[in-house]
């Protein structure tokens, strides 16, 4: 399974594009569409949109692989997209150790979906951008329950 156009759209909107290196909310050096730099990567003159798209494709492939490796139950396209976005944003380690994954692999799909909404903090601070992203993932996961977030 691969990230759908709807999943890619969410990811790109959530990350935004920056052609220069910046520090993300967690303080990691980042460029393009949320690509976390490794020590050997330097872009002293920034990157083009085309370079960012290429880097993004590799990062997405890694996130897709992680989701496929960690999840042991069937997924809908929306569920897969939500999880790929989650892993892209937070890393596969966070998914691997999460209650979300435990619920999901136990077949508790609805409980797993609601767990997405808990991941809207950086440290102790709730971030509006992360809250919106998690709600968007929830809607991808459960497209028939968009009103469930309005309580």
What is the DSSP code string of the chain? Answer: ----HHHHHHHHHHH--EEEEEE-TTS-EEEETTEEPPTT---TT---HHHHHHHHHHHHHHHHHHHHHH--S---HHHHHHHHHHHHHH-HHHHHT-HHHHHHHTT-HHHHHHHHTT--EETTEE-HHHHHHHHHHHHHH-TT-GGGG--
**What pLDDT is recorded for position 151?**
38
Q: Which of 15, 53, 62, 64 is catalytic?
A: 15
**Inside any domain, residue 151:** no
The pLDDT score that the predictor gives to residue 148 is 47
In a domain, 42, yes or no: no
- 54 lies in a domain? yes
Q: Which pLDDT does position 36 carry in this prediction?
A: 95
Q: Known catalytic residue: 15?
A: yes
Domain span at residue 68 reads 5-16+48-143
Query: Does 126 reside within a domain?
Result: yes
Burial class for 136, CB neighbours closer than 10 Å (0-12, 13-18, 19+): buried
Residue 84 within a domain: yes
Q: pLDDT at position 137, please?
A: 97
In angstroms, how far is the first alpha carbon of the chain from the final one? 33
**Ordered per-residue pLDDT tens for the chain, 151 residues:** 999 999 999 999 999 999 999 998 888 999 999 999 998 999 999 999 999 999 999 999 999 999 999 999 999 999 999 999 999 999 999 999 999 999 999 999 999 999 999 999 888 889 999 999 999 999 999 877 544 444 3
The total domain count for the chain is 1
64 CB neighbour count, 10 Å cutoff: 20
Asked, for residue 34, whether it belongs to a domain, the answer is no
**CATH code: domain of residue 56:** 1.10.530.40
């Amino acid at each position: 399974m691969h990230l759908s156009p709807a999943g890619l759209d969410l990811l790109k909107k959530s990350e935004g594009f920056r052609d220069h290196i910046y520090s993300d909310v967690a303080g990691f050096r980042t460029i393009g569409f949320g690509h976390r730099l490794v020590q050997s990567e330097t872009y002293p003159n920034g990157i083009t949109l085309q370079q960012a798209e290429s880097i993004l494709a590799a990062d997405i492939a890694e996130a897709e692989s992680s989701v496929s490796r960690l999840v042991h139950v069937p997924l809908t396209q929306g569920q897969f997209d939500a999880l790929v976005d989650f892993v892209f944003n937070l890393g596969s380690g966070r998914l691997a150790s999460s209650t979300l994954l435990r619920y999901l692999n136990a077949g508790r799909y609805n409980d797993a979906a609601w767990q997405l909404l808990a991941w809207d903090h950086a440290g102790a601070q709730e971030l509006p951008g992360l809250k919106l992203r998690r709600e968007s993932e929830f809607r991808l996961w459960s497209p028939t329950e968009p009103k469930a977030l309005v309580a």
